[in-house]
Chains A and B, each alone.
Chain A
Amino acid sequence: MNPDIQLSFGLCLVFILLVPLAIAGLGLINTGLGRSRSAAQAITTALCVMSTAALVYFICGFAAAGSPLSLSFGGAGKSVLEPAAFFFRGANVLTLMVALLGLFSVGLASLIPLGASADRLRLGAACASSALFAALTYPVFSFFTWHSRVSLLGAGSAGFLDSGGSGFINVVGGVTALSIAWILGPRQGKYPPKGMPAAIPAHNQVFVLFGCMLAWVGWLGLNSAGAMLYTSMRPEGAVLVVINTTFAAAASALTSAATTRIRFRRPDASLIANGWMAGLVACSAGCAVLKPATAIITGIVAGVLVVLSVEWFELHLKIDDPCGSISVHAVCGIWGLLAVGIFAGSGVQFSAQIVGIATLLGFIFPLTYGLNWTLNRFIPYRVSLDGERQGLDLHELGADAYPEFVVHSDEFLQR
């Protein structure tokens, strides 16, 4: 094997192995932003959902998604639903690397809906929903992303660009989160008949902020590996990807801090964490093609957008999204896709990005809503009223996350 290609393989594998840190970070963020009485269930659900998604992706998801290798390394890619690709069969070292990144990406994407459904989604329903997600929703858009250059927009023309997964990981996960949040409805007591929505604060900000730091390292790997595998970026291009990703997250977090300081008189820790994540998400699509200055602008816009969006969803649209998943992943993911068209290309590139966003909103959103709505008819998603009041730890797992600390008074109800 050519030494250059060996170096690319080695570096790409190291980047891919960082991605589980993003999964761990997102799991911690979702847990910390939920209530203490559901903390153990939240992190257990994250683990089970990720496991389900990975296994389903291994069985049929990868075969449905196809492989982008026809566009990278000069390899011959598999087409959609090729029977030989089920169970990763017939994969060489290149396709296995793509499959491994896909495996971690689908695990990461499947955690996004858990943020919007915290404190009320049953464990079994979450696993069933993630199975559908990994078998259908995620692979369909991955296929579109990887093959849009050849299948829709004509060979050689500007294609839809999403190297790190703003669209095929974050927006796909974000619109699924929105669908599940609508299907579940708000938490008990969130929207009283009169007055403002109740504030249900995060139970552990340290988890949330540590999760942000883990997610940062994971995102560096995700964006770098994605750019190498999906856009044929050379290894030295990873430096620019790391710089852009870090600058966008930093600019976004600081902008969120400033925006919350202006709007609420004090910086809000949850929203600063959401701002950090929004910067990572928004930068993913164009991490390999943006200049550092435009990555900072992308982050600044994401930082403002996420604060306004969280407020808009909660107060005006009455959507109960405890972790801000819809704002961070769907809204800022769409902004990241648009930013590529605005900052990194011509009018043709902008049109290609619009085609991608139109596919996410016009096809993936109705698809995931329909799938989850149907599944909810067979496997009810929402826990009972008593279970929600008692907390999902006791109700579903039979044990509290913090048994030695009584942090709330109404938990120990007779069962």
Chain B
Amino acid sequence: MKLGGFLLLLSGWAIVVAALVILHGRAVPAFVYAGFGVEILGVVLVFRGHLPGSEDE
């Protein structure tokens, strides 16, 4: 779960950077927020993975 969470964090950041580099105009904020949303999911997974009693711990 921890590893999955960290991979989601990196994936979300990749979406944000890709949006900034590749896209132009109104699509940029939409993809930035989408990437940020993926990161939030990643943060939740990382925290759950570190809870005592979780499968990783």
Contacts and interface: CB of A to CB of B under 8 A. Distances in A.
Interface residues of B, number: 23
A152 B17 contact: yes
Contacts of A351: 28-29, 32-33
A88 interface: no
Interface string A112-141: 000000000000000000000000000000
Nearest to B33: A354
B6 A366 contact: yes
A174 B13 CA distance: 19
Nearest to B14: A362
A191 B52 CA distance: 10
Contact of A357 (B20, B36, B51): B36
A351 to B, nearest CB: 5
B51 A362 contact: no
Interface string B39-56: 100110001001110000
Contacts of A191: 52
A220 to B, nearest CB: 32
Contacts of B50: 182, 317, 319
Nearest to B7: A366
A317 B35 CA distance: 25
A240 interface: no
B19 to A, nearest CB: 9
A355 interface: yes
B43 A361 contact: yes
Interface in A134-164: 152-153
Q: Interface of chain A, helix or strand or loop or mixed? A: helix
Contact of A369 (B6, B14, B28): B6
Contacts of B33: 351, 354
B32 A358 contact: yes
A362 B29 contact: no
B35 to A, nearest CB: 6
Contacts of A153: 20
Interface in A280-327: 317-319
Contacts of A152: 17, 20-21
B1 interface: no
Contacts of B10: 362-363, 366
A351 B52 CA distance: 36
Interface string A348-370: 00010011011101110110011
Nearest to B36: A358
Nearest to B30: A351
B32 to A, nearest CB: 6
A359 B13 contact: yes
Nearest to B28: A351
Contacts of A369: 6
A196 to B, nearest CB: 14
A351 B29 CA distance: 6
Interface of B: 6, 9-10, 12-14, 16-17, 20-21, 28-29, 32-33, 35-36, 39, 42-43, 47, 50-52
| Top 7 closest pairs, chain A to chain B, by CB | A362-B13, A358-B16, A351-B29, A366-B6, A362-B9, A362-B39, A358-B36
Given A358-B13, A362-B39, 17 more contacts: A152-B17, A317-B47, A317-B51, A318-B51, A318-B52, A351-B29, A354-B32, A355-B16, A355-B20, A357-B36, A358-B35, A358-B36, A359-B16, A362-B12, A362-B13, A363-B9, A363-B13
22 contacts: A152-B20, A152-B21, A182-B50, A317-B51, A318-B51, A318-B52, A347-B29, A351-B29, A354-B33, A354-B36, A355-B20, A358-B12, A358-B13, A358-B32, A361-B9, A361-B39, A361-B43, A362-B9, A362-B12, A362-B14, A366-B6, A370-B6
Interface of A: 152-153, 182, 191, 317-319, 347, 351, 354-355, 357-359, 361-363, 365-366, 369-370
